[in-house]
Amino acid sequence: MLGLGLLVGTLLVGNAFCGWICPFGAIQDALSWVRRRLHLPTVTVPARLDALLRWGRFAVLGVVVFMSYTTARLWFAGYDRYVTLFGLHWLFGAESADFWIALVVLALVVAGSLVIDRFWCRYLCPLGAALSVASVFSLVRIRRSGPTCTDCTLCDKPCPVGIQPSKAAPLVAADCIGCMDCVATCPVRGALTVGARVPLPLPGRPKEPEPDRAEGRQTGHEGKRK
Ligand code: SF4
Ligand code: SF4
């Protein structure tokens, strides 16, 4: 039921779950904040390598689906870095070999997130992979207006998942997590907007005549004049 709600929500407003609800997303943002406060270096992954590594999420998703199918249980749950961190098993000692694997996964994710913004979300999260596919069809997306945008690229800098809203043509990439940092940063009014991809029939909004019908009326009117 939760999964269905998440899917419907993503189809409506995009992947806001990762930007606003996911606790591990918040932890990664906190780690980025710590890095900035301590003036630690940020690793910038070259664009080509970044594009390649992003497929890692789909590889993890494929493994999780395959293993869950063959073992008839949610296979990833044993290594989930969220459960490892908040389950507090690490406080009370190792219970199994799975625990140590889970601890290594958690350590890798924390170390990665300390040097790269949203490291887990960008390259490894299977849920993020699934939601980014659903986001392709989402009703609401951030849109860039080519004629209004000045190509200053200021909006690219705050993006935690390394998308380039300044290159959106016109919709931002489906990897967007809806944090709205780019919209807040853009200095040009109307260059980046959030809206539905199709006109919604909102109450009180005057209806514009469809072009072919308008033409039809015009033709009829001209006919009467003759
Ligand atoms: S900064 Fe903009 S493009 Fe990047 S994740 Fe946030 S809303 Fe999406
Ligand atoms: S900050 Fe605004 S004006 Fe500048 S590149 Fe981004 S969308 Fe265009």
Say if residue 45 is in the same domain as residue 95: yes
Residue by residue, DSSP assigns 188-199 as: STTTEEEEESS-
Of residues 219 and 184, more confidently modeled: 184
CA-proximal residue: ligand 1, atom 2 (nearest) = 182
Say if residue 25 is in the same domain as residue 128: yes
Say if residue 25 is in the same domain as residue 130: yes
Quick one: which ligand is closest to 189's CA? 2
Residue-wise pLDDT tens digits, 45-69? 999 999 999 999 999 999 989 988 8
Which structural domain range is residue 170 located in? 140-194
Give the total number of structural domains in the chain: 2
pLDDT band at 79 (very low <50, low <70, confident <90, very high): low
* Residue 223 resides in a domain: no
Say if residue 185 is in the same domain as residue 108: no
Residue 158 beta carbon below 6 angstroms from any ligand 1 atom: yes
At 186, which CATH number? 3.30.70.20
C-beta atoms surrounding 142 within 10 Å: 22
pLDDT the model gives residue 209:
45
CA of 159 to the centre of ligand 1 (A): 5
Residue by residue, DSSP assigns 80-137 as: -HHHHHHS-GGGS---SHHHHHHHHHHHHHHHHHHHSTTHHHHHT-HHHHHHHHHHTT
